[in-house]
């Protein structure tokens, strides 16, 4: 076993072997370390031929655990460490024929893509088309589509309580949408869980196979489970399998919008007869940060913590621009002078700026850019391309990987100002390349030929897939463009190259474009951090930690979000969002807000400091 010292609380969890166990692990209590060391101990100390299934909520946590287990060599191949979605993807790829999945599922992860699938499918159904028309004008019809799509996700996320939709219209909408997806040989995120649940619950022999394969199951971030995820777990375990360790913290449950709830932790405890242990130490944050965290969550018990004072400061700007000036001034001061509670130099990569939404960070991003301070954004699940060239290259990759994908083929044609391709979908990669070539020959956009050349460079290499050939081809094209356009393409290509490198480092079978695009859709290729100041939404900061954290836009209506005000459940989740944001800080915490904010319609509005600042006693 590793020589790393464990606290008495941590050792109790690590040394647990048989039976169900629920671990309540507060921020900074070392839960990733505990999970990793337990897996290490199971694989190296417990006799027998078995595998360990370790399911995480984020790819960042999975990658960190894999890295910590890398010294085990071949032994670590006996553990599957990854997200529940990636486990379900593997299961459906290998054994999904019984539920209609015949190959690696192609995932449509973007809301806009799924909405387009639904819209086209509805227009081909007379009853649903008429129902959509009755909604009213274009705005009302658009809202009806959004409502239907949210309803579909809700039903799929509740495979037990909503297994049989009672409303005939709802049922027809779901069936029509699914038919539209399958026509493109595609699935959405919800399908991965739903179909995995159906496979395990309808075919007990398959569930039994996985129970015999995996003797121990570990679940990370259990407070973020929803019904579909819990249903997959219970279908996998059946009536008698109890070797499940679940780790979570109800105080950090911030994905209620995704139907998650800490209630499933308590259901697990009761239904599995699980023991319960609480980790009440904080090995991450300074005492000043812990004090603010406790003001937001009075039940946050910290029995042991770092003997480092740290500091918490409030920055008040006249408006968003002045707020941005003050935040970036302080970053530059720390980089220049350092801080006694931070070992070594403070670099941009030590710092993160968090916003409840991306809009709270816009002025700060502008200020960082103007001062030439390196930064990176992680405001959504995946990188958003800023250049049309790289965006369209990735559309083309999707179609190359999945010739039946008419949705993205049509999207590419529209971007090149061409009419929608007619006739049947291409049957194979060769036909796709011929269609691309024909489209590029008549396209008015000069970049179309460059994108097709890049696709051909990748496709011609038949021995071993190498996306770098396409990336190099697009870089050469960018070199012919004016500087502003060139730099934007360079930036997007740099991210794509990092994602490709991450895919190559991952465990798995032969490399394919379909595999890469599926990994991208699951966020598995995205690096948790890069060089520079991190610009993050609170949700994308989950699981990360930084020496210096700024939380911008700490004004009522922004954080907490105005949409939550007056709603008890939503305000409780906003408080948990604040708790998560604060506890990302290891040493220094800055909370900022502007006295005035320019509203989208052009009026200035006075801002009141967030209730969380008052709660912490940081403002009057």
* 399 close to 432: Cβ distance less than 8 angstroms: yes
32 is in an annotated binding site: yes
The sign of the dihedral angle between the CA atoms of 476, 477, 480, 483 is negative
Q: How far apart are CA 454 and CA 407, in angstroms?
A: 21
Alpha carbons 129 and 280: distance in angstroms, whole number: 56
Structure tokens at 37: 């060391």
3-state SS, residue 591: strand
Q: By CB neighbour count within 10 A (0-12 exposed, 13-18 middle, 19+ buried), where does 398 fall?
A: buried
276, 269 contact by CB (below 8 A): yes
Please count the other Cβ atoms lying within 10 Å of the Cβ belonging to residue 250: 16
Does residue 90 have a cis bond before it (omega within 30 degrees)? no
Classify 513 as helix, strand or coil: helix
Q: Measured between alpha carbons, how far is 330 from 26 in angstroms, rounded to an integer?
A: 29
Rounded to whole angstroms, the Cα distance separating 339 from 346 reads 8
30 in a known ligand binding site: yes
Distance CA 568, CA 266 (A): 21
Consult the annotation and say whether 25 binds a ligand: yes
Residue 395: partners with Cβ closer than 8 Å, 6 or more residues away: 408, 411, 412, 415
Task: State the Cα–Cα distance between residues 42 and 36, nearest whole angstrom.
Answer: 10
Angle at 47 (CA atoms; ends 46, 50), nearest 5 degrees: 90
Taking the C-alpha atoms of residue 452 and residue 441, their distance in angstroms, rounded to an integer, is: 10
**Residues with Cβ < 8 Å from 61, sequence gap 6 or more?**
32, 220, 221, 543
Q: Annotated binding residues, as ranges?
A: 25-32
Residues placed in the known binding site for ATP: 25-32
């Amino acid at each position: 076993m590793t020589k790393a010292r464990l606290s008495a609380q941590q050792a109790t969890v690590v040394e647990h072997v048989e039976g169900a166990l629920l671990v309540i692990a507060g921020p900074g209590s070392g839960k990733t370390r505990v999970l990793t060391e337990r897996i290490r101990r199971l694989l190296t100390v417990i006799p027998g031929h078995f595998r360990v299934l370790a399911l995480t909520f984020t790819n960042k946590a999975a990658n960190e655990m894999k890295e910590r287990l890398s010294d085990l060599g071949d032994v670590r191949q006996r553990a599957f460490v990854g997200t529940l979605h990636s486990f379900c993807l593997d299961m459906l790829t290998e054994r999904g024929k019984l539920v209609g999945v015949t190959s690696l599922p192609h995932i449509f992860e973007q809301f806009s893509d799924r909405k387009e699938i639904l819209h086209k499918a509805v227009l081909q159904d007379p009853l649903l088309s008429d129902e959509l028309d009755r909604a009213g004008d274009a705005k009302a019809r658009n809202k009806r589509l959004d409502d239907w799509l949210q309803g579909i996700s809700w039903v799929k996320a509740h495979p037990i309580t909503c297994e049989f939709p009672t409303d005939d219209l709802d049922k027809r909408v779901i069936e029509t949408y699914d038919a539209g997806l399958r026509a493109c040989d595609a699935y959405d995120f919800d399908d991965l869980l739903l179909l995995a649940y159906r496979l395990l619950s309808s075919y007990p022999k398959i569930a039994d196979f996985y129970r015999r394969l995996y003797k121990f199951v570990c679940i990370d971030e259990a407070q973020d489970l929803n019904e579909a995820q819990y249903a997959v777990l219970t279908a996998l375990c059946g009536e008698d399998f109890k070797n499940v360790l679940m780790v979570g913290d109800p105080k950090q449950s911030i994905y209620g919008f995704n139907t998650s709830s800490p209630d499933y932790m308590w259901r697990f405890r009761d239904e599995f007869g699980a023991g319960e242990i609480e980790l009440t130490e904080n090995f991450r944050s300074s005492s000043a940060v812990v004090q603010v965290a406790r003001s937001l969550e009075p039940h946050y018990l910290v029995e042991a913590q770092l003997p480092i004072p740290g500091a918490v400061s409030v920055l008040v700007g006249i408006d968003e621009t002045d707020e941005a000036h003050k935040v970036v001034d302080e970053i530059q001061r720390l980089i220049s002078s350092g801080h006694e509670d931070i070992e070594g130099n403070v670099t941009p990569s030590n710092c993160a700026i968090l916003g409840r939404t991306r809009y709270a960070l816009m002025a700060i991003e502008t200020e960082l850019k103007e001062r030439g301070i390196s930064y990176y954004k992680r405001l959504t699940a995946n990188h958003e391309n800023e250049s049309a060239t790289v965006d369209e290259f990735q559309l083309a990759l999707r179609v190359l990987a999945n010739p039946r994908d008419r949705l993205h083929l049509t999207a590419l044609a529209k971007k090149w100002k061409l009419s929608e391709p007619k006739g049947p979908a291409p049957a194979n990669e060769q036909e796709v390349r011929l269609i691309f070539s024909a489209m590029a020959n008549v396209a008015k956009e000069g970049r179309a030929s460059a994108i097709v050349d890049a696709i051909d460079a990748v496709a011609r290499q038949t021995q071993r897939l190498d996306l770098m050939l396409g990336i190099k081809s697009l870089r050469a094209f960018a070199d012919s463009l004016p500087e502003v356009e060139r730099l934007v393409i360079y930036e997007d290509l740099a991210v794509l190259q990092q994602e490709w490198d991450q895919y190559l480092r991952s465990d798995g079978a032969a490399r394919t474009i379909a595999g890469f695009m599926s990994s991208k859709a699951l966020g598995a290729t995205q690096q948790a951090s890069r060089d520079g100041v991190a610009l993050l939404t609170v949700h994308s900061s989950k699981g990360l930690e930084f020496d210096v954290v700024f939380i911008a836009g700490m004004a009522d209506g922004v954080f907490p979000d105005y949409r939550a005000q007056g709603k008890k459940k939503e305000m409780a989740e906003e408080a948990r969002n604040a708790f998560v944001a604060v506890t990302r800080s290891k040493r220094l915490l800055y909370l900022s807000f502007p006295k005035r904010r320019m509203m989208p319609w052009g009026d200035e509005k006075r801002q009141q400091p967030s209730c969380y600042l008052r709660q912490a006693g940081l403002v009057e």
